[in-house]
Amino acid sequence: MRQLLEGLRVIELSNNVAGPFTGKLLAEYGANVIKIEPREGDPARHEGPYKDGIPNIETSLLFLHLNTNKKSITLNFESKNAVNIIKKFIEKTDIVIESFPPGQMENWDLSYETLAKDHENLIMASITPFGQSGPWKDYKASEIVLQALGGPLHANGSPFREPIKSGGNIAQYHAGIATAFACIAARLRIVRGGRGDHIDQAIYEAQAGFRDRRTAFTTGTSYTGHVAKRQPPGARPASGPRMTADGYANIFASGSRRFPAALDLIGRSDLKDHPDAKKQPHLFSQEFAAELEGSWMKWLISRDKKTAVAETQKIGLLGGAIYTTKDLVEDEHYKSRDVWDNIDHPVAGSADYTGRQILLSEISRKKPLHAPLLGESNNEIYAEIGFTKKDIAEMKTKEII
């Protein structure tokens, strides 16, 4: 059975996280994604953690995750013929993903306007921290800067301390999702008789409309002028993250219409007769809040997190266990839905990787391919655009590839 994006050719001229994640999402559904790396490799290859803790450009866990199902070729972008080589690749390409600083593609004579003159169906996605225009376009940004300006940092952490960053590269991953969606939308327009497009994806702008609290807070501020503040830990009794016998669970009881059933569950039916029981949590008296919280914690600490969630879900309470990565990989629910792809890498060995993000009933699951070795497909891909074995050998000698 054909894959959803089979036949779609993508050139990836991007590195680190956002652009490669865009390419990964397209590759998982059948697109032929060719990653053009500098001779030293994508910077993600040089970022840990590494398998067994030993630095190796072929075993960076970040790179291995972001680049499954792709092919890798190398190119010295500063070499004399680099621009002409890239143009040859783009002639046969449907989508280009690039993450160079604004103006760099134009300096190389590779702007969308230039390339689209003879290739009106071309889609180019340019991913930068702050976009191709505006007073910040040349600013550089780290993940924490992107979360601070457009994302959830303002709403994270204790109100008594500085805001804290969400773990990992959430801003860049979300920009990758947004860009992949934009590429497919642009491709749909072409199928319907339109032409290609230049997608200007600013990572911080993708954040501004992303995280649930940030989106709600931003909309609320635009209407009322009120700026939401972070709440102290435990501000809502019997709700939110709490300790269990083996970790933590995030369950919401107070303020729910199932609150009386929750009191029965924890053996405190007597509290249903308290005057505060029918109030919203922020109106609880200190006495009632303390009594409720103590009973709730006593009940939770006597159970493991999965049991606590199962029992509260049974009576209709919203909540879930707070998983460690080990919990996630070993969870039977995820295993039953084939979330993981077991992939064997020639250097890093065998491991489980996150698989397709979306399940489609009419599309079979394709066999996943390991992240490519640096320049692994040089001979194959350069031959596709007319280079002979002799040409390729000469380019290697001259350090062009």
Q: Per-domain residue ranges for the chain?
A: 9-212+336-397, 239-324
Model confidence at 161, pLDDT cuts 50, 70, 90, reads confident
Model confidence at 399, pLDDT cuts 50, 70, 90, reads very high
Average pLDDT, stretch 47-75?
A: 96
Average pLDDT, stretch 110-114?
A: 96
pLDDT in tens, 277-301: 999 998 999 999 999 999 999 999 9
pLDDT in tens, 250-285: 999 998 899 999 999 999 999 999 999 999 998 999
Calculate ∠ Cα 22-31-11, nearest 5°: 60
Model confidence at 80, pLDDT cuts 50, 70, 90, reads confident
Q: What is the topology classification, in CATH, of domain 239-324?
A: formyl-coa transferase, domain 3 (3.30.1540)
Q: Is the pLDDT score of 249 beyond 80?
A: yes
No. of helices (H) and no. of strands (E), the chain: 16, 11
* Per-residue pLDDT at 210: 67
Q: Is the pLDDT score of 218 beyond 70?
A: no
* Per-residue pLDDT at 152: 74
Class of domain 9-212+336-397: alpha beta
* Per-residue pLDDT at 215: 59
Cα 286 from Cα 330, distance rounded (Å): 41
* Per-residue pLDDT at 338: 85
Beta-carbon count within 10 A of 260 CB: 15
Q: Is the pLDDT score of 225 beyond 80?
A: no
First to last CA, the chain: 36
